[in-house]
Structure 1
Amino acid sequence: MSVIYVLLSISISVAIVFFVAFITAVKKGQFDDGYTPSVRMLFEDELVKEQQKPSVKIKKTN
């Protein structure tokens, strides 16, 4: 029976640690923007193509 008390106290301690870690992550702004990363993943190729266009320079030879 004492094993149940030990396991229960360990599980409650771990749950409290994870809850505190979650609260600190929320306070630091970890979960502020949940929409932009998913959209950025879809349009990442277009952003890379647009950035490469201005960097290409064509030299004219006479």
Structure 2
Amino acid sequence: MDVLFLLIPLSVVLVLLIIIVFAWAVFSGQFDDLEREGERIFEADGKPLDRDQTPPPGLR
């Protein structure tokens, strides 16, 4: 029973921390354009590789 005096305040602090992090993510624009980030992987970027990098096997 004594452990509840420790676990309840810790769980309240954890919930508040999760709410604060979620609010920060929402207000900083992390969820503004979800489709764009998903499609970005399919676009070819024009950046050349460094000399020590090799292209992936499918792009040689």
The answer, yes or no, to whether TM exceeds 0.5 is yes
Task: Indicate the TM-score class for this superposition, using the shorter chain for normalisation.
Answer: 0.5 to 0.7
Give the structure-1-normalised TM-score: 0.62
Q: How many residue pairs get matched?
A: 48
Identity %, equivalent residues? 27
Q: Gaps (5+ residues) in structure 1?
A: 53-62
Aligned to 1:23: 23
Instruction: Kindly report structure 1 stretches of 4+ aligned residues shifted beyond 6 Å.
Output: none
Q: Gaps (5+ residues) in structure 2?
A: 49-60
The structure where helix makes up a greater share of residues is: 1
Give the structure-2-normalised TM-score: 0.63
RMSD: 1.8
| Greater Cα radius of gyration, structure 1 or 2 | 1
